[in-house]
Structure 1
């Protein structure tokens, strides 16, 4: 294969942080059905990349405490090289996706995977994932819970934090 036309598969890993509880409890608590509380990550170049309360992290695919994903979506292929991607992640990690910028509703793991998916493949992640916060906040209970939920930082243990110091060895 011509070295210049190398392509890399890109996958979206989807985890239900509620482990099925959202599906059971949401009709009672919110008055609407939610199928899950979604955490997502991008898998490319044999690594899983995600954003949480500590910033951008990576691990072997399925290597966090969450275990294997509930769903895997093929997003297509990318011609972006791993080197360019890691530089891109470094710059994101120093700006938009520093750990302290994490917000459960406005700026979370799904915001990150949506942006990275578009960078790599030009495709967005499924809208049922990115629409979840506004669906929750559109309910009276969601509004009551908001101050509590806003203080939650999700960072699944098991990843290595990516920052500029780690990359340039």
Structure 2
């Protein structure tokens, strides 16, 4: 715990395409995408993220995705760990249950954005939250939507629902 009762909040950003989006998107989509983003919030010494099985956590950088491609400092929060975990458990039982996961509309980035706002009052960068609509605005994105809607991203971690 920090002396001031303030805890740093970071956004971990991973490119699920590992650079392929940057190379292939101009030909496939007709526009440049810098990555296919998976995000997580790091606070209280853990990395928290939403996947197809619900809200998970692990040690920072501890998913099979390895180290993040970039880290954004979102500031700090005064929300203690106990209150934060209660908040996450309530989200995991309602808004962010695994069966509510959707690759385009209700994904890890929506979760990171909601949690960032709860902790710091700040949103995550719009280039991340705007990506699904950018992809879907292309003919190729529309053609791929049925396939992409069936995908569930799960980089591992421990589901918080069982951590009461």
For residues 2 and 129 of structure 1, what CA distance do their matches in structure 2 show? 30
Alignment of 1:83-122 (within 5 A): 83-122=82-121
The aligned residue for residue 131 of structure 1 is 130
CA apart distance, 1:2: 9.9
Q: Partner of 1:50: helix, strand, or coil? A: strand
CA apart distance, 1:134: 0.2
Following TM superposition, the consecutive aligned residue runs of length 4 or more in structure 1 with deviations greater than 3 angstroms are none
Give the unaligned 5+ runs of structure 1. none
Compared CA separation, residues 148 and 121, structure 1 to 2 (3 A): same
If the length of structure 1 is used for normalisation, what is the TM-score? 0.95
The aligned residue for residue 55 of structure 1 is 54
For residues 91 and 25 of structure 1, what CA distance do their matches in structure 2 show? 39
Alignment of 1:21-32 (within 5 A): 21-32=20-31
Corresponding position: 1:45 with 2:44: yes
CA apart distance, 1:61: 0.2
If the length of structure 2 is used for normalisation, what is the TM-score? 0.97
Q: Partner of 1:11: helix, strand, or coil? A: strand
Give the unaligned 5+ runs of structure 2. none
Corresponding position: 1:72 with 2:71: yes
Compared CA separation, residues 90 and 143, structure 1 to 2 (3 A): same
RMSD over equivalenced CA pairs, Å: 1.3
Aligned length: 164
CA apart distance, 1:166: 1.9
Alignment of 1:126-165 (within 5 A): 126-157=125-156, 159-163=157-161, 165=162
For residues 10 and 154 of structure 2, what CA distance do their matches in structure 1 show? 20
